[in-house]
Amino acid sequence: TYLPGLANLLGWTGSYIESLVREFYASLWIDPDHRFIHFSFRGYDHRLYSTRARELLHLTESDT
């Protein structure tokens, strides 16, 4: 219940690498001001800033 969407994702066999999905979900931290997310992937810590995510996804900034 504390990891929304994880059960549905894990139900799609063959579409992901289970250990990487579990590592990501277990380590995901969202900045309270939504400036970045911090997570672990393949044993390395990563920080993705919202400005970079918007750039990669071609999204404009929004209050939503």
pTM of the model: 0.61
pLDDT digit string, tens, across residues 3-62: 667 677 667 666 777 788 788 888 889 999 989 999 988 888 999 999 998 898 888 887
Of 48, 54, 37, 38, which Cα lies nearest the Cα of 64?
Answer: 54
The residues near 5 (Cβ < 8 Å, ≥ 6 apart) are: none
d(C-alpha 51, C-alpha 22), whole Å: 25
Cβ–Cβ < 8 Å for 27, 34 = no
Q: How many Cβ atoms are within 10 Å of 27's Cβ, its own excluded?
A: 13
